Amino acid sequence: MSELKNDRYLRALLRQPVDVTPVWMMRQAGRYLPEYRATRAEAGDFMSLCKNPELACEVTLQPLRRYELDAAILFSDILTIPDAMGLGLYFETGEGPRFKKLADNKEAIEALPIPDPEQELGYVMDAVRTIRRELKGEVPLIGFSGSPWTLATYMVEGGSSKDFAKTKKMAFAEPQMLHMLLDKLADSVILYLNAQIKAGAQAVQIFDSWGGVLSGPAYEEFSLRYMHKIVDGLIRTYEGKKVPVVLFTKGGGQWLEAIADTGCDALGLDWTTNMHEARQRVGHKVALQGNMDPSMLYAPVPRIEEEVERILGEFGHGEGHVFNLGHGIHQFADPEHAGAFIKAVHAQSAKYHK
């Protein structure tokens, strides 16, 4: 594998010196780009796009042709693992993900297999290998997975949820059943992410999209414990290079110290957490990623530039900041505004790295 031409993203995650603050966007390959919509139409539907390594590579690279991003992120979905466990993932237009079968009772959970990442999830590994080859060492490739708690909510509820009533009922009425599911998911994620690393992912991120719906004690028991297990089980150095691990709990700002204690390299922050306070609390231990509100991209460009400056100033001088949105870019964001955001991060951050 060739040496990276631009490694500032990996350096920032390891709190090493960089020339400017690196930037990428969650969901940077996605519906806000007309070229993505065209490729998705060519694929036929979302899952066909995910399962075609050449097209998954194409959409991964599309934002890098437009913007000077500091990382590519594998194009896939967090729900590939439950799909590979046999639950039958499909997408309803306007409704989001759905499963044909649920994991909402003891028998169903006991029957779930732990997928072999090179077999049932081989299409993801093929996509990683294809993307890594086509990147030609320009920027690093990020692999990812959903967190066990987040995956479990979809598997128990059967899809998206507003109140997570079935999953929380299981957590509090039959916790041993939920722990059995979370344990299987953690084992599956370890295998899945390690296979991505062996296939070419140079950093990995765990998306805990729904950890923030839990109380503090429940978060520790049902979400953080299993992310900690995953961090402990991951390959942290591969082919002589460190493989940084990022944990991102949306709504998790009150638990930063506990998340940092897992031994991960970086924490993702959503826009509700103050960057300066986060750095004071955990910045000596981990890098921080974030955290502009994705809705800010609807603002006029001067307002976006002002917000970039505010967040850079909140983090302040020194290393260990990867600029990102506080969640995925919105479907209706203007691609020109996304470009202005990325340029502003690079232009305005140099002074913080002297």
pLDDT in tens, 167-194: 999 999 999 999 999 999 999 999 999 9
Residue 19 lies in a domain: yes
pLDDT one-digit tens code per residue, 112-146? 999 999 999 999 999 999 999 999 999 999 999 99
Is 133 marked active-site?
no
Residue 2 lies in a domain: no
Given CA atoms 9, 12, 18, 22 in this order, what sign does their dihedral have?
positive
Compute, in degrees rounded to 10, the torsion defined by CA atoms 202, 206, 207, 208.
Answer: -170
Structural domain contains residue 120: yes
Number of domains in the chain: 1
DSSP 8-state code for residue 23: B
Check: CB of residue 8 under 8 Å from CB of residue 70.
yes
Q: What CA–CA distances, in Å, run from 328 to 116, 198, 295, 338?
A: 28, 26, 10, 12
CATH of the domain at 196: 3.20.20.210
For residues 142 and 132, the answer to whether their CB atoms sit within 8 Å is no
HSE-up of residue 145 (Cα within 13 Å, Cβ side): 32
32, 67, 154, 226: the catalytic one is: 154
Residue 30 has pLDDT above 90, yes or no: yes
Phi first, then psi: what are they for 286, rounded to 5°? Answer: -140, 160
125 with 84: CB under 8 angstroms?
A: no
Q: Which of 44-48, 145-149, 270-274, 349-353 has the least mean pLDDT?
A: 44-48
Angle at 59 between CA 55 and CA 60, to 5 degrees: 110
Whether 3 is covered by a domain: the verdict is no
Residue 30, annotated ligand binder?
A: yes
> Which residues, other chains included, contact 149 with Cβ-Cβ below 8 Å and sequence gap of 6+?
182, 208, 210, 211, 214, 222, 223, 226
Specify whether 77 is catalytic: yes
DSSP assignment, residue 330?
P
On the question of pLDDT at 297 being above 60, the answer is yes
330 labelled ligand-binding: no
Answer whether residue 1 shows pLDDT above 70: no
Residue with tokens 């609390």: 281
User: Is 154 annotated among the ligand-binding residues?
Assistant: yes
Q: Which of these is catalytic: 8, 15, 27, 132?
A: 27
According to the model, what pLDDT value does residue 2 have? 55
Give residue 23's identity as a one-letter amino acid code: V
CA distance 236 to 244: 7
So what's the pLDDT on residue 93? 74
- Residues 294-299, mean pLDDT to the nearest whole number: 98
Please tell me whether 77 is known to bind a ligand: yes
Kindly report the CA angle at 259 between 261 and 273, in degrees rounded to 5? 135
Asked whether residue 31 is marked as a ligand-binding residue, the answer is yes
Residue range(s) defining the domain that contains residue 39: 8-353
Amino acid occupying residue 333: A
Least confident of 7-11, 96-100, 162-166, 212-216: 96-100
201 is in an annotated binding site: no
Q: Residue 15 pLDDT more than 80?
A: yes
- To the nearest whole number, what is the mean pLDDT of the chain? 97
> Exposure pattern of 288-317 as b/e (b: 16+ CB <10 Å)?
bbbbbbbebbeeebeebbebbeebbeebee
Question: What pLDDT score was predicted for residue 354?
Answer: 86
Phi, psi for 180 (deg, rounded to 5): -60, -45
For the CA atoms of 64, 308, 274, 334, what is the dihedral angle to 10 degrees? -60
Q: Which of 77, 104, 183, 261 is catalytic?
A: 77
Cβ neighbours of 335 (radius 10 Å): 17
pLDDT of residue 63: 98
By CB atoms closer than 10 A (0-12, 13-18, 19+), residue 212 is middle
317: left (phi over 0), alpha (psi -120 to 50) or beta: beta
Residue 28 annotated as binding site: yes
Q: Would you call 31 a catalytic residue per the annotation?
A: yes
Residue 116 falls inside a structural domain:
yes
**What is the mean pLDDT of the segment spanning 211-231?**
98
What's the average model confidence in pLDDT over 142-171?
Answer: 97
Query: Is 1 inside a domain boundary?
Result: no
352 is catalytic: no
